[in-house]
Amino acid sequence: MTELKTSAEIGGMGHSVKRKEDPRFIRGRGNYVDDVVRPGMLYMAIVRSPYAHAKILSINSEKALAHPGVAAVITGETLKEYNLHWMPTLMSDTQMVLPIDKVMYQAQEVAAVIATSRYAAADGVELVEVEYEPLEVVIDPFKALEPGAPVLRTDKEGQKDNRIFHWEAGDKAATDKAFKDADVTISQDIYIPRIHVASIETCGIVAEFDSVEGQLTLWMTSQAPHAHRTVFAMVAGHVGLSEEKIRIISPDIGGGFGGKVPIYPGYVIAIAATVVTGSPIKWVEHRRENLQADSFGRDYHMHAELAADKDGTMKALRIKTIADHGYTDAATQPSKWPAGLFAIATGSYPFEAAFCEVDGVYTNKPPGGIAYRCSFRVTEAVHAIERLVDILADDLGMDPAELRMKNFIPPEAFPYKSVLGLEYDSGNYAGALKLAMEKIGYQDLLKEQKEKRERGELMGIGISSFTEVVGAGPSKDFDILGLKMFDSAEIRIHPTGKVLVRIGVQSQGQGHETTFGQIVAEELGIPVSDIKVEHGDTDTAPYGLGTYASRSTPVAGAATAMASRKIRDKAKKIAAYLLEVSEDDLDWEPGKFFVKGVPDKAKTIQEIAFAAYTNHPQGMEAGLEAVSYYDPPNMTFPFGSYICVVDIDSGTGQVKIRRFMAVDDCGNIINPMIVEGQIHGGLTMGMAPALMEEISYDEEGNIYGGSFMEYLMPTAMETPNWETAKTCTPSPHHPIGAKGVGESATVGAPPAIVNAVVDALSHLGVRHLEIPLTPEKVWRAINGL
Amino acid sequence: MGTQSISIKVNGVEQTGEVEPRLLLVHFIREDLGLTGTHIGCDTTHCGACTVILDGQAVKSCTVFTVQASGKEVLTIEGMTTNGELHPLQAGFMEEHGLQCGFCTPGMIMVSHALLQENSNPTEEEIRFGISGNLCRCTGYVNIVKAVQYAANKI
């Protein structure tokens, strides 16, 4: 467990401090983008394509412009005048802001109506007349790669097919040899469907341009406001936008999960609209637009293989993947590898050889992808390895827990260099699985299952022992369009000992205003109640790369600790001066320096702060402030073991999660209450695609899952009472030994659930099932259909 | 488009005005009255972020026309605090960590309020059923259930 070094009053690391954000939220006093109102503000609504692939023959705005309240209609031609009709994606591909002659997916932006009210804007959308000529649609990514398939990106010079990239990792020859020599090999096709984060707040912006000052202010649902500001300045510099005059305020954000990292066309159109009309513009997506047009997660078609000895020792791993990226590679992942962190595919096991290859493919679908609450492609990788382990156990007639225990990378092997090139920082995988088995009563469950099976009842037990990789940078491997993935904190100690902390990352519900204060409280011994944390305003916060990929604590959390330590170093000099001793004669305990062996001869951090402004040593600069830009030496590797127990109704195929024990290890913990809450939420977003959520398309590119009518998110009825426990293996390279936790559960939960359902049906000959495990799919499996 | 006169008591204060018949109650509350605690999370009556109490019943205010609420009483999240004192549900959400991003929270508190008005001592199953028309993407509901139980014990 995380050692408590501070009192509850100070509230440093390990204390379940109540959240500072909550008083405003429980009163309805949050300030989200749609709550922002500016004088003379106009509303924007978007005309979208009913076709997945079509030529635009004409756009007629006359009737819309004649409608009361409609102020303007913006089309691709309007933006073309400013050369803003295309924009770069974060993967250096290109994306239409508004089309000139062709649409590439259903629900693509075609034009925007600006009006005096949201109702008039919606009326205007109905009145814009667009004439289309449908083109051949490419939906299946396998067909997209066949010779003769229509080439979708005719705009890209030299693009002769629909392949975006080919990526490889590992040693192909060694892997092929290991497979040839192995006693046992297994293979499984696994599809991880397209899903959507669907944060309860959709995306939106209020854009306000002051033409006299040249100042552009944006209130925007942004997980990365600083990076977005720079991108806007780079993309629109030629029309006079200058970075010092762009201010992005990312206020309270109603959930992010990766969906608010991309720059969507709607944001850019709203910016163009405020420049063109001279009025502030508000655009807030409808839920249908959010589900149908915003970046998706997953859509990975994997062929996964594993080679092992007959005693169960795993030897080699091979995975070949087709990744459907839609019509442009707008993936929001900052690594230098196009398949993100898929190299975590060897999981918690010491393979001798592994080889992974991924081909990215264009199709007539919305662009992506985003990570859906995980570091990019980690969930797909973990799903593959944890399914393969269970299939191997089944083939060998071994208990899946025993097989995992036999193979885990042992604690003494860390730092561990995997054959796919990652260096795992620390871990104790057997410890987590052992605790999960004890907590849930694994042996008793096996007995119960045996009895139930004899009675014809369907009960399954599933394990997932995942390893995560989070915390992008380090900067040598991670950047966004060249912006290196460090992060930052700036701390000011006021004369009265109160504190202002500004951080480069941005909360969407994670509780940064509380937890970053706790890091400072831990380091300086100042009560967390005296510490104010600000973020999200690019005019005031230090530059940072944003919150996603569980990177806030690993990177900005480290920066906060390092900046605190700079302050402590200066405070020590002041204390020595005040106490008239040498710095070497001083000891620190949270909140004060004291003379070694004379605890009464002390100066509190508050007294030192006052002296920093009133009585500092000659020759020393006044004030007590520090900034840190932290570039992590490595990523962090949280892990855990989950055990899921399901009961299945054999008549309907309905899966019920009866129990779910989640043992997580995220290193040292800042706030146990918040960590547990993150795990609850992550588990629910792991269960969601495992059992319910999927976005699919028919052959013509019509979306299925484009509203909450068909996109089924878990309610309180489907969600079980999650059980949690923890082990603590600190990160050796992180200043406070923390690893990040927001996404672990989303990564770890799906294979535990699938393994449980397959286990429940294994005696019926079921070896694998694809997610989501809908009642129909499970019922068909039960009935051999 | 013509307008219609309305008169609605919102959080105890009589509000009158001229509105388009198509104006949704949620837009009247948020934009005409400036009570932005009531949120909009979907446009199909699924998410419940816009839940308010209309004459004692929880309704999704994105699916009620303002004119339908005329002559009635509406309670929003802003009306839950009396003389600066938190309602036990508000306190419960904070004490039990029943919220993260806060976007679904006002709707969750309002639907739970209606639930506790009908059933002051609900079982866990009854709480889960009672809030199942409201979506939360952050918490996994475990602590929301605890927050409602906290309030039920206090009321």
The predicted-structure confidence for A26-61, as pLDDT tens digits, reads as follows: 999 999 999 999 999 999 999 999 999 999 999 999
- Chain B residue at shortest CA distance from A510: B100
Between CA A153 and CA A570 the distance in angstroms is 57
| Residues B47 and B14 reside in one and the same domain | yes
ipTM for this model = 0.99
Assigned CATH class of A33-135+203-284: alpha beta
| Residues B59 and B96 reside in one and the same domain | no
Q: Which residues of B touch A22 (CB under 8 A)?
A: 93-94, 99, 102
Instruction: State phi, psi for A50 to the nearest 5 degrees.
Output: -80, -15
Instruction: Encode burial over A371-403: b for 16+ CB neighbours within 10 A, e otherwise.
Output: bbbbbbbbbbbbbbbbbbbbbbbbbbeeebbeb
- Chain B residue at shortest CA distance from A507: B101
Q: Which of B20, B46, B79 is the last residue of a domain?
A: B79
Q: Which residues of A touch B102 (CB under 8 A)?
A: 21-22, 24-26, 30, 252, 254, 509
pLDDT at A748: 98
Chain A interface includes B23 (CB < 8 A): yes
Between CA B45 and CA B33 the distance in angstroms is 22
A22-30+487-630 fold: Aldehyde Oxidoreductase; domain 4 (3.30.365)
- In a mutational test of the A interface, the residue from B46, B80, B100, B134 whose CB has the highest number of chain A CBs within 10 Å is B100
Catalytic residue list contains A373: yes
Interval A316-365: pLDDT, tens? 999 999 999 999 999 988 898 999 999 999 999 999 999 999 999 999 99
| Residues B69 and B119 reside in one and the same domain | no
DSSP B149: H
| Residues B63 and B123 reside in one and the same domain | no
Domain containing B51 equals: 4-79
Residue for token pair 């495990």 = A773
First to last CA, chain A: 49
- Chain B residue at shortest CA distance from A721: B142
**Nearest CA of chain A to the CA of B22: how many Å?**
9
Are B76 and B10 contacting, i.e. CB atoms less than 8 angstroms apart?
yes
Average pLDDT of the residues of chain A = 97
- Cβ contact B20–A677 (<8 Å): no
| Residues B63 and B116 reside in one and the same domain | no
Instruction: Encode burial over A707-733: b for 16+ CB neighbours within 10 A, e otherwise.
Output: bbeebbbbbbebbbbbbbbbbbbbbeb
| Annotated active-site residue in A373, A387, A492, A659 | A373
At residue A1, does pLDDT exceed 70? no
- Cβ contact A717–B129 (<8 Å): yes
**Nearest CA of chain B to the CA of A25: how many Å?**
5
| Residues B75 and B93 reside in one and the same domain | no
Interval A418-474: pLDDT, tens? 999 999 999 999 999 999 999 999 999 999 999 999 999 999 999 999 999 999 989
- Cβ contact B103–A254 (<8 Å): yes
Between CA A316 and CA A356 the distance in angstroms is 11
Chain A interface includes B74 (CB < 8 A): no
Residue for token pair 């859509």 = A299
Helices (H) and strands (E) in chain A, counts: 19, 35
Q: Which residues of B touch A197 (CB under 8 A)?
A: 137
DSSP A526: -
Contacts of A700 (CB under 8 A, 6+ apart): A52, A137, A139
Q: Tell me, what CATH number does B139's domain have? A: 1.10.150.120
- Cβ contact A257–B137 (<8 Å): yes
Q: Which residues of B touch A682 (CB under 8 A)?
A: 140
Are A666 and A675 contacting, i.e. CB atoms less than 8 angstroms apart?
yes
Chain B interface includes A39 (CB < 8 A): no
Q: Which of B79, B98, B118 is the last residue of a domain?
A: B79
| Annotated active-site residue in A153, A318, A333, A374 | A374
- Cβ contact A257–B145 (<8 Å): no
pLDDT category, A238, cuts 50, 70, 90?
confident
Are A500 and A540 contacting, i.e. CB atoms less than 8 angstroms apart?
no
**Number of neighbouring beta carbons within 10 Å of residue A248:** 24
Residue B92's nearest CA partner among B113, B64, B122 is: B113
Q: Which of B17, B48, B79 is the last residue of a domain?
A: B79
B88 token code pair: 């036990």
| Residues B14 and B63 reside in one and the same domain | yes
| Residues B73 and B12 reside in one and the same domain | yes
pLDDT category, A368, cuts 50, 70, 90?
confident
| Residues B71 and B102 reside in one and the same domain | no
CA angle A606, A610, A611 (to 5 degrees): 115
pLDDT at A696: 97
- Cβ contact B100–A509 (<8 Å): yes
CA angle A438, A444, A450 (to 5 degrees): 140
**Nearest CA of chain B to the CA of A661: how many Å?**
14
DSSP labels, A431-450: HHHHHHHHHHTHHHHHHHHH
Residue among A673, A685, A716 whose CB faces B128 most closely: A716
pLDDT category, A92, cuts 50, 70, 90?
confident
* Count of structural domains, chain B: 2
Percent of chain A with pLDDT over 90: 96
The helix/strand/coil state of A186 is strand
Between CA B147 and CA B140 the distance in angstroms is 13
CA angle A595, A600, A604 (to 5 degrees): 75
Crossing angle, helix B142-154 and helix B88-95, to 10 degrees? Answer: 140
Interval A136-172: pLDDT, tens? 999 999 999 999 999 999 999 999 999 999 999 999 9
The helix/strand/coil state of B33 is coil
Are A640 and A664 contacting, i.e. CB atoms less than 8 angstroms apart?
yes
Chain B interface includes A108 (CB < 8 A): no
Residue among B39, B44, B95 whose CB faces A708 most closely: B44
| Residues B21 and B51 reside in one and the same domain | yes
Q: Does 3.90.650.10 match the CATH number of domain A380-468+636-782?
A: no
Chain B interface includes A30 (CB < 8 A): yes
Interval A407-416: pLDDT, tens? 999 999 999 9
In chain A, CATH 3.30.365.10 sits at 22-30+487-630, 380-468+636-782
Q: Which residues of B touch A719 (CB under 8 A)?
A: 140-142
A498 token code pair: 């109160």
Residue among A26, A37, A201 whose CB faces B103 most closely: A201
**Nearest CA of chain A to the CA of B71: how many Å?**
24
Max distance between CA atoms of chain B, in angstroms, equals 50
Q: Which residues of B touch A283 (CB under 8 A)?
A: none
| Residues B92 and B67 reside in one and the same domain | no
- In a mutational test of the B interface, the residue from A25, A206, A678 whose CB has the highest number of chain B CBs within 10 Å is A25
Decide the pairing of beta strands A246-249 and A215-220. Answer: parallel
Residue for token pair 């992180």 = A734
At residue A2, does pLDDT exceed 80? no
Three-state secondary structure readout of A65-97: HHCCCEEEEEEHHHHHCCCCCEEECCCCCEEEC
Decide the pairing of beta strands A723-726 and A655-665. Answer: parallel
**Nearest CA of chain A to the CA of B154: how many Å?**
17
pLDDT at B84: 92
In chain A, CATH 3.90.1170.50 sits at 33-135+203-284
Catalytic residue list contains A618: no
Q: Tell me, what CATH number does B28's domain have? A: 3.10.20.30
- Cβ contact B27–A118 (<8 Å): yes
pLDDT at A332: 87
Between CA A294 and CA A45 the distance in angstroms is 15
Distances (CA, A) of A394 to A164, A388, A401: 37, 10, 11
At residue B87, does pLDDT exceed 70? yes
Q: Which residue blocks in A351-423 are alpha helix, DSSP H?
A: 378-396, 400-407
- Average pLDDT score over residue span A497-501: 98
Are A98 and A296 contacting, i.e. CB atoms less than 8 angstroms apart?
no
Residue among B37, B49, B93 whose CB faces A29 most closely: B37
- Average pLDDT score over residue span B5-24: 98
Chain B interface includes A27 (CB < 8 A): yes
**Nearest CA of chain A to the CA of B20: how many Å?**
10
Decide the pairing of beta strands A368-370 and A296-308. Answer: parallel
- Average pLDDT score over residue span A80-92: 92
Chain A interface includes B86 (CB < 8 A): yes
| Annotated active-site residue in A223, A508, A518, A678 | A223
